[in-house]
Amino acid sequence: MTEARIRLYVDQALAAGQPVALTEAQANYLFNVMRLVTGSRVRLFNGRDGEWLAVVEHVAKRGGVLRCSAQSAPLIAPPDLWLIFAPIKKTRTDFIVEKAVEMGAARILPVQTRYTNERLREDKLRAHAIEAAEQCEANYVPPVEDLVTFDRLLAGWDPARRILWADEGLRGRAALLRAPPGPWAILIGPEGGFAPEERAKLQAMSCVTPVSLGPRILRADTAAVAALTLWQSTLGDWVQA
Ligand code: SAM
């Protein structure tokens, strides 16, 4: 039997013996692009049930059916880390979502700050998150939430979840190594940075830990990767397997 090299996200339940009906796009990818035939094996994940081996049972022009055989990996959820970021230009926002999935964010929250003036297609970002999970062998897909305003986000904030605020005003002073474990969210600002009243709000919240990402001003997409790296390498699954 051939090795199942292809990994595919499906939005259906996965369990032993479960049939999985393919969409037209999935069938096109598997049968026309990857040239799979009846009996070929693929690996499936849906973000909830781990990863499953499945066999191609039926090939059709605009669809087809796979059947799950056995679970090949359990669901491995990332640590309880959210990424909050202010949307920037489209390709750079796509990059942030892709890297957030690869780096192991559990939830992605775009936030509208005072200096944010980019539009957002959340449906496209969700598709990017799925593609990133397919590519990096993750079997968890972090939800990408709808855009929310900065004030609304902070008004309903649970103080038990600490916020790691990437504060471009600090330059050089790093505090994270002394921070406690537990639920966290990273906050990255837009290209224009945070407005004075937003900075004041964050400074008044006791659950907020401002952090420097070094002496240079990073682009927001670089800052997101740098902050995720910092957190994962001190509090996350890079140090706690
Ligand atoms: N226009 C702003 C300025 O000149 O101060 C810079 C904004 S920066 C391009 C976008 C975001 O990345 C910031 O809001 C911050 O969250 C993060 N960031 C960039 N460089 C940083 C640094 N050295 N330390 C902490 N955060 C940084």
Is residue 168 included in any domain, yes or no?
yes
- Which runs of E-coded beta strand occur in the chain? 7-9, 19-21, 41-45, 51-59, 64-73, 81-85, 107-112, 148-149, 162-166, 184-188, 208-211
Confidence check: pLDDT of 2 > 60 = no
Using the atom order of ligand 1, give the atom closest to the CA of residue 211.
25
pLDDT digits (tens, 9 = 90+) for 39-82: 999 999 999 999 999 999 999 989 999 999 999 999 999 999 99
pLDDT recorded at residue 4: 83
Q: What is the pLDDT of residue 177?
A: 62
Using CB distances shorter than 6 Å, the residues near ligand 1 are: 166-168, 170-171, 188-189, 191-194, 212-214, 216-220, 223
Percent of the chain past pLDDT 70, that is, above it, reads 96
> 184 CA distance to ligand 1 centroid (A)?
19
| 37 and 86 co-located in one domain | no
- What's 144's DSSP letter? B
51 and 89 housed in the same domain: no
Could you tell me if 231 and 183 lie in one domain? yes
The answer to the question of residue 1 being in a domain is no
106 & 67 share domain = no
Q: Are both 66 and 124 inside the same structural domain?
A: no
**Together in a domain, 96 and 213:** yes
Reported as a single tens digit per residue, the pLDDT across 96-150 is 999 999 999 999 999 999 999 888 999 999 999 999 999 999 999 999 999 999 9
pLDDT of residue 175: 59
* In-domain check, residue 197: yes
| SS3 label, residue 116 | coil
Q: Give the pLDDT of residue 241.
A: 60
Q: What is the Å distance from ligand 1's center to 128 Cα?
A: 24
How confident is the model at residue 3, as a pLDDT? 72
Same domain (yes/no): 59, 140: no
Query: Number of folded domains in the chain?
Result: 2
Which tens digit of pLDDT belongs to each residue from 202-237?
999 999 999 999 999 999 999 999 999 999 999 999
Instruction: Give Cβ neighbours of residue 133 (< 8 Å, ≥ 6 apart).
Output: 9, 45, 47, 101, 139, 140, 141
CATH number of the domain bearing residue 94: 3.40.1280.10
Is residue 143 a contact partner of residue 110, using CB atoms and an 8 Å limit?
no
pLDDT digit string, tens, across residues 154-196 = 999 999 999 999 999 987 666 566 778 899 999 999 999 999 9
